């Protein structure tokens, strides 16, 4: 069960008070997607994952979080129009603005997850073109994290990136850059073996960790078969 409650939060940029809904509790039953998107009921709480100030447009996980950017940044046309991207979902717009802020703050990890979450919001809205675009941006941020080195969550990031490559149809990149047994954990290795087979078969759709476990056990049924 998911519970939410109203709260009043003060924007750290402009000082305006915003009436928002905050998650009190939720749960998740079942397997996450291969890109870590959680199952229900947590899956349906995405609308509460990012807050936007109604006065100045600042967007963050928590509006009380401070930013190095001043108010003029949020008045720029590129920020307000999401760089001219026509999203089909208001939630995707919020996640994109969060991504845009993270990029300006040189927060690659934050930008990666904001772009990933924007892709999920696009998926839900049937906005396939922008779902691919947001996954491409997430791949760019992952590449940047690797280039900078010393990433404490490198294996997880590399595995998510593999799914992003597949979901964007970049099968050759996935097949050339990944191999069986490349991770230190057996679960991750079972997932990458499944990802590689999905790429060979040309599948770009959503699959779950449970699907990868069924594939490893020899019980997975391919779509349409």
In a domain, 165, yes or no: yes
Domain of residue 160: give its range. Answer: 152-219
In a domain, 140, yes or no: no
Domains in the chain, number: 1
**1: pLDDT confidence band, cut at 50, 70 and 90?**
confident
In a domain, 158, yes or no: yes
In a domain, 176, yes or no: yes
* Rounded CA separation 35/80 (Å): 28
In a domain, 92, yes or no: no
- Please list the residues that pair with 19 across neighbouring strands: 8
* 3-class DSSP state of 89: coil
Is the CB of residue 164 less than 8 Å from the CB of residue 143? Answer: no
In a domain, 75, yes or no: no
By CB atoms closer than 10 A (0-12, 13-18, 19+), residue 51 is buried
In a domain, 113, yes or no: no
If you average pLDDT over residues 77-98, what whole number do you get? 98
Helix axes 154-167, 186-201, angle to 10 degrees: 20
Quote the pLDDT of residue 152.
85
pTM confidence score:
0.97
Percent of the chain residues topping a pLDDT of 90: 96
Give the number of C-alpha atoms closer than 13 A to the C-alpha of residue 141, restricted to the C-beta side.
Answer: 25
If you average pLDDT over residues 2-23, what whole number do you get? 96
- pLDDT tens digits for 131-164? 999 999 999 999 999 999 878 889 999 999 999 9
* 3-class DSSP state of 172: helix
**189: pLDDT confidence band, cut at 50, 70 and 90?**
very high
* Rounded CA separation 177/52 (Å): 38
In a domain, 184, yes or no: yes
- H/E run at residue 118: helix 108-124
Quote the pLDDT of residue 150.
75
């Amino acid at each position: 069960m998911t519970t939410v409650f109203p709260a009043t939060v003060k924007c750290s940029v402009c000082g305006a008070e915003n009436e928002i809904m905050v998650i009190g509790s939720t749960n998740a039953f079942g397997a996450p997607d291969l890109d870590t998107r959680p199952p229900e009921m947590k899956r349906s709480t995405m609308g509460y994952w990012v807050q936007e100030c109604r006065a100045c447009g600042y967007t963050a996980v928590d509006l009380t979080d401070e930013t190095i950017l001043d108010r003029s940044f949020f008045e720029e046309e590129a920020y307000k129009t999401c760089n001219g991207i026509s999203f089909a979902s208001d939630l995707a717009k919020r996640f994109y603005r969060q991504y845009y802020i993270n990029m300006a703050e040189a927060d690659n990890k934050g930008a990666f997850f904001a772009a990933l979450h924007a892709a999920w919001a696009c998926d839900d809205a049937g906005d396939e073109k922008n779902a691919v675009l947001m996954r491409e941006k997430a791949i760019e941020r992952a590449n940047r994290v690797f280039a900078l080195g010393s990433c404490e969550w490198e294996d997880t990031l590399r595995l998510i990136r593999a799914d992003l490559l597949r979901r964007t149809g970049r099968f050759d990149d996935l097949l050339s850059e990944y191999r069986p047994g490349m991770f230190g954990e057996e679960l991750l290795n079972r997932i990458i073996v499944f990802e590689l087979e999905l790429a060979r078969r040309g599948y770009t759709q959503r699959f779950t960790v449970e699907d990868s476990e069924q594939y490893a056990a020899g019980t997975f049924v391919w779509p349409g078969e």
